[in-house]
Amino acid sequence: MAPRNVKTDAKKDDADMSDNLDKKPSKSQTMWGGRFAAGPSVLMQAINVSISFDQRLAEHDIAGSKAHSDMLAVQGIISAKDRDAIHAGLAEIADEIEAGTFPFSDELEDIHLNIEARLKDKIGDAGARLHTGRSRNDQVATDFRLWVRGHLDVFIHQLETLQSALLGQAAAHTDTIMPGFTHLQSAQPVTFGHHMLAYLEMFARDKSRFEDCRARMNESPLGAAALAGTPYPIDRDMTANALGFARPMANSLDAVSARDFALEALAAASICATHLSRLSEEIVIWTSAQFGFITLSDAFTTGSSIMPQKRNPDAAELIRAKVGRIVGALTSLMIVMKGLPLAYSKDMQEDKEPVFDAFDALELGLAAMAGMVADMAPNKDALAKAAGAAFSTATDLADWLVMKLNMPFRDAHHVTGAIVALAEKQGKTLDALSLADMQTIEPRITDDVYRVLTPLASASSRTSYGGTAPSEVEKQVKKWQSILG
């Protein structure tokens, strides 16, 4: 490719733009009306066009237009004949988009003008009546709300699927012992089922956040027009009901300028992605040769180009990485919105791409995680061995000293530390240390202490509500089985 000659090419670009201004009005200029005699410059066209990404709103734009034209006909603002022609034309356009034959045009900027122009080509003057009583401002706001609402429904369903996968693992492993960690150091024995239920609870809160967000955003901007409402006798309740909204938005300025529904959805998505990332990190650690806690099938792992022994948890690693895109989208939109006065500003055209990208990433991540959770097979022997390592039952020994010998906990903590040091010196686990050796440190210890020194005994003793005891895990499993069905 030849190097770009900046001076020569700059002159050529200026000439191209000048020529463009001398041309007859473009399609988009015609849509704007008689205020503009010339078409946009090349640079203006490039920065202004959004059809490459807002095509995603086509289904919702058509649904909004059908609801709007229905209402206009009922209110006597347009004729029933024109309404029927509009609906027929929109149905044909929907078919064209589905078939991939719709003639999308950059000149027409966005999906809204593309559909409107195509409708006028198909049905003539009746198509020009569709925009009565509305603006692109409320049209865009309505379409975007419909799109976000639909994807919140997808996430809610996906989270239920992921919860079910976690519940399946919990039900199968209520008494499978594994190490519980703090600071990624062995802390106390827990059950694998308890660990799975911890994530189920996190994702339940994510689901609740999406549901709350959906309820709050489920108001219709349609009919707010450009910013001040409209003099036509429209029925906003009718269009809101037709589109599944709970009610129309109460303030026309707010209706066209609010994007907090998208910000809230991105915030909930970011929290959910963080939970996915944490579970992904554990899967990466657990599948390593050093841990060997679980195995994943070929469906969710890949090999190495030069190391034939490798089985890489790529799906988990990619989910872990996607949190950056999702949180980045939230930050991007917050910065776009932070300085905008009421009502609509063209800055808001930048609201959709980050949301589209973030929601794509989250949808893929939720699907992949549900598959991985259902696929993973715990290695019970490795989990049990690790659960007994690093003196993980030391706290149980301290608790026994408190409960059986009425020792203050801080004193019991000191005695237990001394016993751990003795076991470490002998290279033994606590349950392998002799009673005589323990009695050299605290003579009142009896052989009843061995009842709490195995990992299973330790976990089984944690019977407080929400604890890791198999009996408590079984209760939580039954509760969630009744919730999830």
Separation CA 394–CA 403 (nearest Å): 14
> Catalytic site residue 304?
yes
Q: Contact at 8 Å (CB) between 145 and 221? A: yes
**Chain centroid to CA 257: how far?**
24
Catalytic residue among 288, 297, 304, 471: 304
Compute the half-sphere exposure of residue 70: CA atoms within 13 Å on the CB side of its CA: 16
Place of tokens 């470490």: 424
Separation CA 308–CA 22 (nearest Å): 65
Q: What are phi and psi of 311, to 5 degrees?
A: -135, 100
Cα angle 21, 27, 30 (rounded to 5 degrees) comes to 85
> Catalytic site residue 183?
yes
Separation CA 163–CA 428 (nearest Å): 40
Q: Is the peptide bond before 343 cis (omega within 30 degrees of 0)?
A: yes
Q: In this structure, how many other beta carbons lie within 10 angstroms of the beta carbon of residue 235?
A: 16
Q: Contact at 8 Å (CB) between 348 and 136? A: no
Could you give the residue numbers annotated as active site?
183, 304
